[in-house]
Amino acid sequence: MGHMPKRHRTPTNALRTLAWLLLAVIAMAAPAAAQPQLVDTRQSKETLGAGDSIRITVFQNPDLATEARLSPRGSIVFPLIGEVALDGLTPAQAGSRIADQLKRGRYIVNPQVAVAIVQVRSRQVHVLGQLLRPGTYVLEDTGSRLTDILTLAGGISPTGADTVTIVKRRGSKSERREVNVPAIFNGGDPATNIEIESGDTIFVERAPVFYIYGEVQRAGAYRLEPHMIVMQALSLGGGLTARGTERGIGIHRREPGGQFRKLDAKLTDAVRADDIVFVRESLF
């Protein structure tokens, strides 16, 4: 029996096989390349300001990739084109401005520039007064409410008032608003939990107090609660001593001119801010 001749793969067949493999790899990679890129809509709406850190990439020009922080004037220094003002622009607008200057300088024919926010430092709010951690805070997200910022500052301290003052800048003018924080949570209008914007100042004053001394268990200064009466003030002071008498209660009240006026008080009389409640010793 004769032997069948062996088939030898010709160079043409090998090249054809290699071409098919390359086409298969390209076909597998094509769907991934065709997928749309996800866009951070939050960053696309935010505007840049002094102190913000950004990352800049130029398509097919990795040597131009740059990370920079906007100067106090709201600008950066970019390779080839020098200083570029970006204050007040969105990331997309900033990318367009850089691309335009690269094109004008004839450094790149059709530049495609992407700008991403790395760290936000320009959107700040000032929180002052009677808080556990007063200071300057960065607004990481748009839509932050008053209660969000108070939480960042640790909340209102025990000596802080219930009413918070918000000062909003409107160009050269300012708008002042007062919000009762407990009312937000106790059936009040949720709209009073207003949105805090960059440049706003939140101030928490010291809560009003009254003073009590004389024949009480615990003399001192106490927080004045809304609609407080003398009976409630005495309870905060621990009540009368064995020598105190309800018929000997008086109030020293400051007049508008700064002088104090002495008043005889009953248990149901109202207590005002800075009142000095005193309890006399019983004569019998």
Residue-range domains of the chain with CATH:
43-119 (3.30.1950.10), 124-206 (3.10.560.10), 209-281 (3.10.560.10)
Instruction: Give the whole-number percent of the chain exceeding pLDDT 70.
Output: 82
Return the top range by mean pLDDT from 10-19, 24-33, 80-89.
80-89
Q: What is the mean pLDDT of residues 187-198?
A: 85
Report yes or no: 57 and 114 within 8 Å, Cβ to Cβ: yes
Give the C-alpha separation, 43 to 48, whole Å: 10
Residue 17 pLDDT: 57
Tokens of 237: 């002071």
- State how far the Cα of 61 lies from the Cα of 81, in Å rounded to an integer: 15
- The answer to whether residue 56 scores a pLDDT higher than 70 is yes
Tokens matching residue 100: 């335009």
Band of the pLDDT at 51, cuts 50, 70, 90?
confident
> How many whole angstroms separate alpha carbon 72 and alpha carbon 52?
10
Residue 258 has pLDDT above 70, yes or no: yes
CB atoms within 10 A of CB 163: 14
pLDDT at 239 over 90: yes
Q: Is the pTM of this model over 0.75?
A: no
Q: How far apart are CA 228 and CA 238, in angstroms?
A: 16
User: Which H or E element spans position 104?
Assistant: helix 91-104
Of 59, 58, 78, 81, give the one whose Cα is nearest residue 68: 78
Strand extents, DSSP E, the chain: 53-58, 66-69, 75-78, 82-85, 113-119, 124-129, 135-138, 160-170, 173-180, 201-206, 209-214, 220-223, 244-254, 260-264, 276-281
